[in-house]
Structure 1
Amino acid sequence: MSELWERWQRAIADELPAAIELRHRVHADPRGSGDEEDTARVVAEALGAGEGIRVAKTGRAIPLPGKGDGPAVALRAELDALPVLERTGVGWASDSELMHACGHDVHLAALVAVCRAAVRIGVPRPILAVLQPREETSPSGALDVVESGVLAEYGVDAVIGAHVQPRLANGVVSAVPGPVNASTDEFEVVMHGQGGHAGYPHLLRDPILALSQLVVSLQQLASRRVDPVFGAVCSIGRIQAGTAANVVPNQASAFGSLRLMRAQDRERALDGLGEIVHGTAQAHGCTAELRVSPCEPVLHNDPALAVGAQRWLVRGQSDVDIDFRSFGADDFAHYCTGGGDEGTRGLMMFVGLGDTAGAPSLHDERFLPADDAVARVANALVAGYLAALGPAGA
């Protein structure tokens, strides 16, 4: 298998110039979640293996043959961009109000380089290239791929993904067994009070005051309701209230997310969310509505895949991290349901871009990985594929 690794690396090196050109093309012409048809077509054409199978409405699953008949290995990359106005200044920047600010353009280019190289050299097991839509929104594109049955149809045993990560040093790849990304539930709180003239607060029930207290009190979910060894994050991303400085409105709304690293903490945290929302409202003479929208489960890496990938990454002279976890969420979690009849094993790796103070983060208008990240993501995907072959391939 060492010979296969080396041959694959040489073939990927030959594919990189075209893959980087593809990255620039995709980056310059992004598509939002649910509107990825054009991006899927361009990437499918670059793979040179036909249109494949349409999945999740705007996605593709493209089968590539292997020399043997064992279980297929799926390699996944995301198609969608974000509603961000780009400010990178490169000649191939997007001129729309969409931007590949999460590295999906890099992931797609790496997937193409890996798959084209695999076809050239011949690999032991079939590959299913999954061009997945709607990673950035809910409902999940990954869940739709799973429910389409395409993974089972092609005998997929393992799904491999790799994501660029600016919080890891350049040259580091993280392959961690167990939970690596948090679950997420989005929620909306509508606080109902009694509005009126701001100069007569004693006659009112101020929903903005109640909501302000609620935003602070919700931090109890992380600090007092969940074991701090495992942690939780409750964040408010949007507040909406009022029309004038001297008018107290009748209602105020807040929108946020609750993130957890253990599935068993979710029910307790959601119960606590309800208690705090309604208790805070009552304390201020208000009432509240709470609406919760489940989004993604915990992303749980298969331990055997993670350990196997670590070995191949070391052989490829990558620095391997075995500790990095993030309270970001990724719908890749839907591929990590277990092996055999229960579903597929999953492995998500994180590829470092350089943990530099002040560097743009994911989803930032200035976020722009260097082109050499394509090769490093490609190497991680190869390591995941070889890990899926099992100890015999080590």
Structure 2
Amino acid sequence: MLRDLVAAAREELPFAVSLRRRLHATPELGGQEVDTSRLVADALPLRPVFVNGTTNLVARVGGPGPAVLVRAELDGIELREETGVPHAAVNGRMHACGHDVHCAALVALVRAAHRLQDRLPAPLLAVFQASEERTPSGAEEILEADEATGTVRAAVAAHVHPEIPWGRLGADPGTVNAATYGFEILVEGRGGHGAYPHTTLDPVLALAQVVVALHTMTGRRVDPLNPAVLSICCLSAGSGENVIPSSARALGTLRTMDADDHERLRKLLHTVVSQVAEAHGCAGSVRQTRDEPALVNDPRLTLATRTVAQRAGVRLAEPWRSCGGDDFARYGTRWPSVMLFVGLDGGPGFVPAGLHNPFFLPPDDAVGQVALAQALGYLAAAGTTGPNLTP
């Protein structure tokens, strides 16, 4: 089955690569993936189901019984592409996280599985998920749609990554991605003329001090052996060079691997914002914009995937984890799950660039690498039994 499924998926790659280029040229933001989901739906060999009026798309291949869920993401992000390739997006949005590759790869796997459906070891439930990058999370919408997913025995996903060598597969048990807490900071003061700051309560100065104070949290309040990161990524205030505004805002993200660190830093974040702002005569508050659990690979399923990968001649990467986050973690709260990471570093024509970078462009050959990883995870979950994977 391993040989035949991989061979069938390989035959589908020219079609999948063409689809990848069309997807890459027309990225859409989370929750707005109307054209993207239609492109995917038209590429499938069977009629998919749109979940509860959303752009989430589900396609089931195979007979009755508990299915193995394999997920790919539909959405892009707000970023102007700078790759210069003919199929680059020109709408100020970009597939800068490889979602176009993941979707095209899963289409190839579905088309291959459909050809072999009478021989599949377990049904394949392909989930083309909306809104991985934005709130509300598409994973939450999928998990609420029991009538669309049915009984699932395990969940699998694969994600390209520029820090892993080309031809290597990252498949490690335990926590591989951080819990993520997205937030908006609002500092409110009293505006006025920039020439008379003593008559104002300057929220810009207060927010600047808040930003500096927040960046000391992970370095002084967390065990250095526990990964944790806080980044303020967006600041906004004012409308002119001589007008002190009445409010200032910031957007940021907190990433932690340890649950205790996560809870403590969340509380400390609110305290620092409130008290530093107060010290400047202002009021500071924090609003949660996103909250995802850590992504934890099921040990049994991960071991099975590593075993299948080695049988297929796929080389495993060195142990690898990151403070990246992914709402695929939500699937792991319900079913055994594994997220596999597909290496890009040193790939054919790949120009080194990080995720969410305007120059990030996986080569077309990555579609085959991701489809292979998805197939390995699917077969491992379909063939694994035991307490953790018994439906």
For normalisation by structure 1, the TM-score amounts to: 0.90
Distance (whole Å) between structure 1 residues aligned to residue 238 and residue 51 of structure 2: 45
Equivalent residue, structure 1, for 2:120: 123
Matched, 1:280 2:240: no
Determine the structure 2 residue equivalent to 1:37: 34
- Once residues 151 and 264 of structure 1 are traced to their aligned partners in structure 2, the CA distance between those partners, rounded to angstroms, is 35
SS at match of 2:210: helix
1:17 paired to 2:8: no
Q: Which residue of 1 aligns with 2:366?
A: 373
Please point out which of 319, 327, 332 is paired with 1:336. 332
TM-score, structure 2 length as denominator? Answer: 0.91
> CA separation in 2, counterparts of 1:97 and 1:245?
28
Amino acid at match of 1:119: H
Q: CA deviation at 1:323?
A: 2.1
Q: Distance in 2 between matches of 1:138 and 1:287?
A: 26
Map 1:160-239; keep pairs closer than 5 Å: 160-239=156-235
SS of 1:129's equivalent?
strand
Q: 1:313, CA displacement in angstroms? A: 1.8
Preserved CA contact (<8 Å) 2:51 2:148? no
Residue 251 of structure 1 deviates from its aligned partner by 2.5
- Contact 1:72 1:158 (C-alpha < 8 Å) held by counterparts: yes
The 3-state SS of whatever aligns with 1:168 is: strand
1:256 CA drift (Å): 1.1
CA distance in 2, matches of 1:363, 1:41: 24
Deviation at residue 203 of structure 1 after TM alignment: 4.5
Identity of aligned residues (%): 45
Asked if the contact 1:175/1:322 (under 8 Å) is kept, the reply is no
Q: Of 73, 84, 87, which aligns to 2:82?
A: 87
Counterpart among 288, 304, 315 of residue 292 in structure 1: 288
Spell out, residue by residue over 1:81-116, the C-alpha distance to the aligned partner (whole angstroms, 9 max, x if none): 222222222222223222222111111111111121
CA RMSD in angstroms comes to: 2.2
Distance, in Å, in 2 between the alignment partners of 1:376 and 1:222 is 36
Question: 1:231-310 residue pairs with structure 2 within 5 A?
Answer: 231-310=227-306
Aligned partners of 1:28 and 1:391: how far apart in 2? Answer: 39
The match for 2:340 is: 349
Pair 203,26 (structure 1): closer, same or farther in 2 beyond 3 Å: closer
How far apart, CA to CA, are the structure 2 residues paired with 1:196 and 1:355?
55
Residue matched to 2:389: none
The whole-number CA distance in structure 2 between the counterparts of 1:308 and 1:51 is 29
Q: 1:6 aligns with which of 3, 13, 21?
A: 3
What SS is found at the alignment partner of 1:306? helix
**241-250 or 111-120: bigger deviation:** 241-250
Secondary structure in structure 2 of the residue aligned to 1:160? strand
Judged with a 3 Å threshold, the aligned counterparts in structure 2 of structure 1 residues 262 and 35 are, in CA distance, closer, same or farther, namely same
**Separation (CA, whole Å) in 1 of partners of 2:351 and 2:19:** 29
Task: Check conservation: 2:121, 2:383, Cα contact below 8 A.
Answer: no
Change over 3 Å in CA distance of 1:46–1:199 after alignment to 2: closer
**5+ residue gaps in structure 2?**
387-391
Q: Deviations over 1:21-63 (max 9, x none)?
A: 1111222232222122222222122221113343561111111
* 1:7 alignment partner AA: D
Contact 2:165/2:317 (8 A) holds in 1:
no
- Maintained 8 Å contact 1:86/1:99: yes
Gaps of 5+ in 1: 338-342
C-alpha contact (below 8 Å) 1:195/1:206 kept by paired residues: yes
Summarize deviations over 1:226-271 as a string: whole Å, max 9, x none.
3332222111111112233333333222221111112332221111
Aligned counterpart in structure 1 of residue 23 of structure 2, from 6, 23, 26: 26
> Residue in 1 aligned with 2:68?
73
Q: Is the 8 A contact 2:231 2:253 kept in 1?
A: yes
In structure 2, the CA distance between the partners of 1:34 and 1:392, relative to structure 1 (3 Å rule), is closer
Amino acid of the structure 2 residue aligned with 1:284: H
1:390 positional shift: 4.3
The SS at the match of 1:116 is: helix
Pairing of 1:79-158 with structure 2 (within 5 A): 79-121=74-116, 122-150=119-147, 153=150, 155-158=151-154
Query: 1:56, 1:144 within 8 Å by CA — same for their partners in 2?
Result: no
Q: What amino acid maps onto 1:361 in structure 2?
A: G
Deviations 1:102-134 (Å, cap 9, x if unpaired)? Answer: 111111111111121122233111111111111
